[in-house]
Amino acid sequence: MSFEKNNIYTKNGIEYTFSYNTNISTVDKVKFVNTVTGYLVGNNFNFIAKDLFFDFGLISIFTDYDVSYIYDSNNSISKIEQLLNETNIAEIVKADMADSLLAELHEAVDLNIEYKTGIHKDIIKDEIAQILKLVESKMQEVDIKTLVEFAGVFSKYAKNFTPTEIINAYEKSDVFKKHTRKIEEKKRQEFENTINKIKQNQQLKILNTSK
Protein backbone atom coordinates (compact mmCIF):
# COMPACT_ATOMS: atom_id res chain seq x y z
CA MET A 1 0.00 0.00 0.00
CA SER A 2 1.24 3.49 -0.87
CA PHE A 3 0.85 6.35 1.58
CA GLU A 4 0.10 10.02 1.01
CA LYS A 5 1.96 11.70 3.82
CA ASN A 6 4.84 11.41 6.25
CA ASN A 7 4.91 12.79 9.77
CA ILE A 8 6.59 12.43 13.14
CA TYR A 9 5.02 10.88 16.23
CA THR A 10 6.40 10.74 19.73
CA LYS A 11 6.69 7.66 21.89
CA ASN A 12 8.00 7.97 25.42
CA GLY A 13 9.52 11.32 24.49
CA ILE A 14 11.35 9.98 21.42
CA GLU A 15 10.42 11.05 17.87
CA TYR A 16 9.80 8.53 15.08
CA THR A 17 8.69 8.93 11.47
CA PHE A 18 5.66 7.20 10.00
CA SER A 19 3.52 7.33 6.87
CA TYR A 20 -0.26 7.54 6.62
CA ASN A 21 -3.25 8.24 4.40
CA THR A 22 -5.92 10.91 4.86
CA ASN A 23 -8.44 8.87 2.87
CA ILE A 24 -8.91 5.17 2.15
CA SER A 25 -10.66 2.94 -0.37
CA THR A 26 -14.07 1.37 0.16
CA VAL A 27 -12.37 -1.97 0.75
CA ASP A 28 -10.26 -0.47 3.54
CA LYS A 29 -13.30 1.29 5.00
CA VAL A 30 -15.01 -2.09 5.27
CA LYS A 31 -11.86 -3.53 6.81
CA PHE A 32 -11.74 -0.65 9.30
CA VAL A 33 -15.37 -1.11 10.36
CA ASN A 34 -14.94 -4.87 10.74
CA THR A 35 -11.72 -4.42 12.73
CA VAL A 36 -13.33 -2.04 15.22
CA THR A 37 -16.59 -3.98 15.45
CA GLY A 38 -14.72 -7.26 15.80
CA TYR A 39 -13.06 -6.04 18.98
CA LEU A 40 -16.28 -4.55 20.33
CA VAL A 41 -18.71 -7.38 19.62
CA GLY A 42 -17.58 -10.89 20.41
CA ASN A 43 -18.31 -13.14 23.34
CA ASN A 44 -18.86 -9.87 25.21
CA PHE A 45 -20.06 -6.42 24.16
CA ASN A 46 -17.15 -4.12 25.02
CA PHE A 47 -18.81 -0.81 24.17
CA ILE A 48 -16.92 1.00 26.93
CA ALA A 49 -13.74 0.55 24.87
CA LYS A 50 -15.24 1.83 21.61
CA ASP A 51 -13.03 4.94 21.38
CA LEU A 52 -9.98 2.83 22.19
CA PHE A 53 -10.68 0.36 19.37
CA PHE A 54 -11.69 3.13 16.96
CA ASP A 55 -8.36 4.92 17.38
CA PHE A 56 -6.50 1.63 17.08
CA GLY A 57 -8.37 0.97 13.82
CA LEU A 58 -7.13 4.31 12.50
CA ILE A 59 -3.53 3.33 13.23
CA SER A 60 -3.99 -0.17 11.83
CA ILE A 61 -5.71 0.82 8.56
CA PHE A 62 -4.50 4.35 7.83
CA THR A 63 -0.80 4.07 8.72
CA ASP A 64 2.28 1.95 8.13
CA TYR A 65 2.81 1.43 11.87
CA ASP A 66 3.38 -2.26 12.55
CA VAL A 67 0.59 -3.51 14.82
CA SER A 68 1.15 -7.21 14.19
CA TYR A 69 2.43 -7.66 17.74
CA ILE A 70 -0.98 -6.55 19.00
CA TYR A 71 -2.90 -8.98 16.80
CA ASP A 72 -0.62 -11.76 18.05
CA SER A 73 -0.97 -10.80 21.71
CA ASN A 74 -3.13 -12.63 24.24
CA ASN A 75 -3.69 -9.30 25.99
CA SER A 76 -4.50 -7.09 23.00
CA ILE A 77 -6.65 -4.57 24.88
CA SER A 78 -3.81 -3.67 27.21
CA LYS A 79 -1.40 -3.49 24.29
CA ILE A 80 -3.76 -1.16 22.38
CA GLU A 81 -4.23 1.05 25.40
CA GLN A 82 -0.48 1.22 25.92
CA LEU A 83 0.08 2.14 22.26
CA LEU A 84 -2.48 4.94 22.40
CA ASN A 85 -1.15 6.26 25.71
CA GLU A 86 2.46 6.25 24.54
CA THR A 87 1.99 7.73 21.04
CA ASN A 88 0.04 10.51 19.33
CA ILE A 89 -0.38 8.69 16.02
CA ALA A 90 -4.17 8.51 16.14
CA GLU A 91 -4.42 12.23 16.93
CA ILE A 92 -2.22 13.12 13.95
CA VAL A 93 -4.28 10.99 11.58
CA LYS A 94 -7.62 12.37 12.83
CA ALA A 95 -6.38 15.95 12.60
CA ASP A 96 -5.51 15.43 8.94
CA MET A 97 -8.73 13.65 7.95
CA ALA A 98 -11.80 15.32 6.49
CA ASP A 99 -14.51 15.75 9.14
CA SER A 100 -16.95 14.01 6.81
CA LEU A 101 -14.78 10.88 6.60
CA LEU A 102 -14.36 10.66 10.36
CA ALA A 103 -18.13 11.05 10.82
CA GLU A 104 -18.75 8.44 8.12
CA LEU A 105 -16.53 5.91 9.87
CA HIS A 106 -18.14 6.56 13.26
CA GLU A 107 -21.60 6.11 11.76
CA ALA A 108 -20.58 2.95 9.89
CA VAL A 109 -19.18 1.42 13.09
CA ASP A 110 -22.31 2.35 15.03
CA LEU A 111 -24.60 0.85 12.39
CA ASN A 112 -22.53 -2.33 12.26
CA ILE A 113 -22.74 -2.61 16.04
CA GLU A 114 -26.53 -2.19 15.86
CA TYR A 115 -26.72 -4.88 13.19
CA LYS A 116 -24.65 -7.36 15.19
CA THR A 117 -26.16 -6.67 18.62
CA GLY A 118 -29.71 -5.54 17.87
CA ILE A 119 -29.12 -2.63 20.25
CA HIS A 120 -30.29 0.63 18.73
CA LYS A 121 -28.71 3.95 19.66
CA ASP A 122 -30.63 7.00 20.85
CA ILE A 123 -30.53 8.86 17.55
CA ILE A 124 -31.91 12.12 18.92
CA LYS A 125 -29.42 12.20 21.79
CA ASP A 126 -26.48 11.44 19.49
CA GLU A 127 -27.54 13.99 16.87
CA ILE A 128 -27.71 16.75 19.48
CA ALA A 129 -24.35 15.69 20.90
CA GLN A 130 -22.81 15.97 17.43
CA ILE A 131 -24.43 19.37 16.97
CA LEU A 132 -22.88 20.65 20.19
CA LYS A 133 -19.45 19.36 19.13
CA LEU A 134 -19.74 21.11 15.77
CA VAL A 135 -20.80 24.35 17.39
CA GLU A 136 -17.97 24.25 19.92
CA SER A 137 -15.48 23.87 17.08
CA LYS A 138 -16.98 26.52 14.78
CA MET A 139 -18.47 29.24 16.98
CA GLN A 140 -17.19 31.38 19.84
CA GLU A 141 -19.20 32.50 22.87
CA VAL A 142 -22.11 30.33 21.79
CA ASP A 143 -25.21 30.29 23.94
CA ILE A 144 -25.49 26.57 24.55
CA LYS A 145 -28.93 26.89 26.14
CA THR A 146 -30.27 28.62 23.05
CA LEU A 147 -28.64 26.04 20.80
CA VAL A 148 -30.09 23.11 22.73
CA GLU A 149 -33.54 24.64 22.50
CA PHE A 150 -33.09 25.08 18.77
CA ALA A 151 -31.71 21.55 18.30
CA GLY A 152 -34.65 20.20 20.28
CA VAL A 153 -37.05 21.53 17.67
CA PHE A 154 -35.18 19.67 14.95
CA SER A 155 -34.37 16.54 16.91
CA LYS A 156 -37.61 14.80 16.00
CA TYR A 157 -36.43 14.98 12.41
CA ALA A 158 -33.05 13.45 13.26
CA LYS A 159 -33.28 10.90 10.47
CA ASN A 160 -33.85 13.62 7.89
CA PHE A 161 -31.35 16.23 9.04
CA THR A 162 -27.63 15.78 9.60
CA PRO A 163 -25.92 17.82 12.34
CA THR A 164 -24.23 19.95 9.67
CA GLU A 165 -27.55 20.71 8.01
CA ILE A 166 -29.05 21.69 11.35
CA ILE A 167 -26.11 23.97 12.09
CA ASN A 168 -26.45 25.59 8.66
CA ALA A 169 -30.12 26.15 9.35
CA TYR A 170 -29.29 27.56 12.77
CA GLU A 171 -26.78 29.99 11.28
CA LYS A 172 -29.50 31.32 8.95
CA SER A 173 -32.16 31.55 11.65
CA ASP A 174 -33.39 34.66 13.46
CA VAL A 175 -32.29 33.04 16.73
CA PHE A 176 -28.68 32.88 15.58
CA LYS A 177 -28.77 36.40 14.08
CA LYS A 178 -30.16 37.78 17.33
CA HIS A 179 -27.49 35.97 19.32
CA THR A 180 -24.77 37.19 16.94
CA ARG A 181 -25.95 40.78 17.34
CA LYS A 182 -25.69 40.39 21.11
CA ILE A 183 -22.13 39.10 20.81
CA GLU A 184 -21.15 41.92 18.44
CA GLU A 185 -22.71 44.52 20.74
CA LYS A 186 -20.86 43.02 23.69
CA LYS A 187 -17.55 43.12 21.79
CA ARG A 188 -18.24 46.70 20.64
CA GLN A 189 -18.95 47.77 24.21
CA GLU A 190 -15.79 46.06 25.48
CA PHE A 191 -13.78 47.80 22.74
CA GLU A 192 -15.23 51.19 23.63
CA ASN A 193 -14.52 50.60 27.32
CA THR A 194 -10.93 49.70 26.50
CA ILE A 195 -10.49 52.84 24.38
CA ASN A 196 -11.96 55.00 27.13
CA LYS A 197 -9.60 53.49 29.69
CA ILE A 198 -6.64 54.19 27.40
CA LYS A 199 -7.76 57.82 26.96
CA GLN A 200 -8.22 58.22 30.69
CA ASN A 201 -4.74 56.84 31.35
CA GLN A 202 -3.26 59.18 28.75
CA GLN A 203 -5.02 62.16 30.32
CA LEU A 204 -3.73 61.19 33.75
CA LYS A 205 -0.18 60.96 32.37
CA ILE A 206 -0.52 64.42 30.84
CA LEU A 207 -1.80 65.85 34.13
CA ASN A 208 0.99 64.21 36.09
CA THR A 209 3.57 65.50 33.63
CA SER A 210 2.28 69.06 33.82
CA LYS A 211 2.47 69.18 37.62
Q: pLDDT: is 105 or 143 the higher one? A: 105
Q: Does the predicted model carry a pTM greater than 0.75? A: no
Count Cα neighbours of 200 within 13 Å in the Cβ-side half-sphere.
Answer: 6
Q: Span 111-140, mean pLDDT?
A: 65
Q: Give the pLDDT band of residue 108 (cuts 50, 70, 90).
A: very high
* 119 Cα distance to chain centroid: 24
In the chain, where the domains are located: 1-121, 122-211
User: Which pLDDT does position 136 carry in this prediction?
Assistant: 57
Closest CA to 133 of 144, 119, 118: 144
